[in-house]
Each structure stands twice: as structure tokens, then as C-alpha cells.
Structure 1
Amino acid sequence: MIVGVVGAGVMGSDVAQNLASCSHDVILMDHSVKALDSARKKIERARKLGSFHRKGQSGGTAALDAIERIRFVSDYAALAEVDYLIENVTERWEIKKPVYEVIDSICKDSCIFAVNTSVIPITKAASVTKRADRVIGIHFMNPVPLKPTVEVIRGYHTSEETIQRTDEMLRSMGKSYVLVQDSPGFVSNRVLMLTINEAIFLLMEQVSTAADIDRLFRECFGHTMGPLETADLIGLDTIYYSIDNLYQEFGDSKYRPCPLLKKMVDAGLHGMKSGEGFYNYND
């Protein structure tokens, strides 16, 4: 099976890496040649470090062969041959919507579209296409190759066949999943984005420091990472777009983005990927 991956950012490159390490031929598409070059270097670096696929994952090929399974392209036309497509562009509807209009006209009728999104409703994405029954949500967790479980979202029109084919593909990647119904933010991010946003309010109000907020979550609740560390990993721009989408979708003030979050995004402090967020990664 040939899998198309649209978007060569943090998530898209990880998804492509995970797929290739599990014997899938992958077409990684992004209009930005710079993004494709960065993705290639990131995947090659992972190969050299021996972290190409999750420890203990079955079915993975040798990393040296896996890197050769990925084609890096900047033209949508290359997606005409894919059997399954995973879209990973930024969490802004005005950017996602045109993508679905284009791929729906290019991809073959049998191709399934998986929306890799944190908050955007799957039914909304499906409404742009002529294949609503073949559109499903897959919320991959970061970093993709190391996370064994994903959140799968059934849109209003998603068919049982689409769920079955998605089940087969995820199992081939060594992943299990939890199937949920369509709602902005689904389960994980309805909770996570509120937690992160409230932690940023606490920091802005000088109730505590970033390090101590995260320490409380790690040491008191057993979390691997605190909310502000998690925000830096995901990307503060993604966090802002996600919480703002929830605010727009629900019209509920509890989702109002923290002003400090917006200020940091405007300043280019996006977390790990920019070198600085709530913590400094330039050392």
C-alpha cells in the first residue's frame, strides 16, 4: 500500500518515518522545499540514532531500507497513486480547507483521507470532499514513532469499511487506538488544551514558575511531562491555534486563549522547534 502524507512539519515527518519503518511506501508532500529538506534531515538523523521506530515494534524493516521508502515531493499530482492519505497541515481551517478541495480532485476514489488534527471536526473536513464516507480522523500523539496509541475519530458519514481499513493500517504501524465520536477537540484535546492554557494563565499571573508548575504534574500526578513542557514539545503556535479553534467552535469563554500564549507566538517563541518557548533549547 502506498501512503500519502501531506505536510512535512513535525507531525508529518514523524508519521512518514513511522510508516516507512513498517514497510509502507510513502509519498511525503509539502509545497515548501525547505520543509521537505528539514524533514529529510530529521528522518536521517533519527535513523543514525537508531530511533527510527518504536522499541519492540513488530514488522519494521531495517532503518537503512526504510529511509529509501520515502519520496519527498512538492507537487500534489504525485498523490494520484496513493491508497491512503494522512493530512498534517497546520491547525487553521482556512489552510486545511483548500488542501481537501485539491486532494479530493487528484486522489483516486478509493483513497481514504485521514485528518491528523487536534481540534478540527472531521465532519467539517469531510464536507469539503465528495467522499465523506472515506474521511476519518487520526489524532497521532507526539512524538509519533514512540507513542503506541492514537485517537481515531468517526465523522458523521465515516463508513465501517473506512474504520476497518484504518484499523489495518494502524496495526501495521504497531499502534492501538481508541475510537471516539466527532466533536471539536475530541476527548484528548478538550482536556489537554484547557490544562495547558490554564497553566499558562498561572505563569502569567505569577502564581508559580514554569519549572514548578511542571514539577507538580510530574511528581504529584505521575505525568511524564508537565503541561508547559508538553506545550513546548507540541509547539506553542499549534497550541494557540488549537485552543482558539475550540473557542470559536464552542463559543465558550473557558477556551479563551491566554494573552501570554498569544504574545509568545507573536514573538516567535514556539517551543522546541524554534529553540525557545517556556524553556530554552539553544544550549
Structure 2
Amino acid sequence: APSARFTGDSFVLPAGARRGIPVVTVNMNAAKMTLYRIGDRSLAQLLSGYQFLHQLDGYDISTISDQMGEPVWSGTLDIANDLNKEVTTSFPVDEAIPQRKPGVYVLTAQPVDDKSDDYGSRATQWFVVSDIGLSTYTGQDGLNVFARSLGSAKPIPGAELTLLARNNEILGTATTDAEGHAVFNPGLTRGENGMVPAVLMAKQGDNDFVFLDMGKAGFDLSDRGVEGRASPGALDVYAWTERGIYRAGEDVHVAALARDGAAKAVENLPLTFIFT
């Protein structure tokens, strides 16, 4: 039977080369292709649902078309068919969207005159076209963002960053410096319910756009046995006694050092010792 599929779930296409998305078909002379765009203001709604990076059925596609995005291109892709063999054909992204806008694109493929019902999944490829690579690190000073070129790995200065909450509120904006670095206030990452950070968007000019899903778990090395000691916060206290075992009635000689986040001494800080 005629069928179509895409080759993977990787969704970032390079911005510096001629772009094409491979479509793998069997027993099809042409494929019906439809391209949708979901704007940057709908990303929080998209990532909070179940559709992102999944294969979509007719109902999901109608939801995206009617509520979150819009169809931007539709047509057929000619295929050099080979009976009962898989044939890979490149879909020319540059010709379909010569002028890109910020957002996520969804490309679907199905046989021409497909008679299957709308509840079946269609071949779906999610993608963005960008040269911006984002890395984030959370620390006591807030959310640190680094933007680098995917093509050259060099820092990207002047990239416009926007942190969106789950309810689509803008939590904060920033611009990367000459080192491609920007910092968001730590309070912006401590929201609850609808104010939890959901999406970090980066934009450079009118064409280059990418985003980072802030709802996913960060990379954690603690399961590798190298978690280290817990981060102390703004103050760190180290206390010790001159020995470990005491008899009733003996004096306990205890000392303590108080340091701030830069490991500098903190003066005139009241300390409370609790002996159990």
C-alpha cells in the first residue's frame, strides 16, 4: 500500500545551507504536502499539550490550523517511484517558505487522493530553521543563557531573548552581550502554577528564530556519582568540634566559619548553635 514517513524527530535545520527535508515513500508517484506555521506567541500553548514532536492525525492538524497556527503552503511533491521499494525525496524548504517568520513549522505528507479516515496518524515533521544554539544554566545568580552559532560555535551577540510563562505571560527579556551571554533574575524562575517558565525564545533579526523548552528536566550528573555537596545558597557555614566523643559534664569546644557566595568572610552575623 502507498505510505509516507519522515526520517526522524530532529527538528532544527541549519540556516546557512540549502535546506531540504527527506520524505521516504513507498509506491507513490506524488505526495500531498501541507506546511503549517505555529507563531511564537503560541509556543507556550503548544509545549503544554501533547502534540509537539508527535505524529498528528486529522483532528490534531485541524486544531493547529484553527487555533494555534495557519497553513502556509500546500501542494504535491513529485516522486521517482520504484515499485515496492522505499524512495527518498527531498522537500525544498527554501522554495516553500522563502520568507521565514518566527515560530515552529509542521510539515505533513500523505498519498494523493488518500481515502483513509482522519483519525489515522499522518507522516509529520516538526522543524525550525535557525543558526542559534541555546544553553542554559541555573544558579544562585539566576538563569544564565548562552547563545552560540550552530555553524561556527562562535558567541552570538545581540540576540533578543524572551522568557515565557506557561500562561503565555512574558516573564522577562534580555539581550546577549559580546560573549553571547545573558542573565535572567533568579526570581523569574521561581514562579508557580501558570507563572512557571515554559519557553525561552531567541531571535536575531527577522529570520533567525529558535526556542528552548524550559519544561523539560535539566541535565543532571548526580546519577553518575559526581553530585558533590549541595549548593549552600547566599550563606555557607562550616562548623566543627575539637573531637567527636564527650562525656557528660565536659566542655564542648566548637568553632564556625561563615562565608558568602564569593567565599568571603561575613562580619557581625549572629550564629545560633543547636546541640542535640
- TM-score with structure 2 setting the length: 0.29
- Kindly name which structure, 1 or 2, has the bigger radius of gyration based on alpha carbons: 2
Please state which structure has a larger fraction of its residues in helix.
1
- TM-score with structure 1 setting the length: 0.28
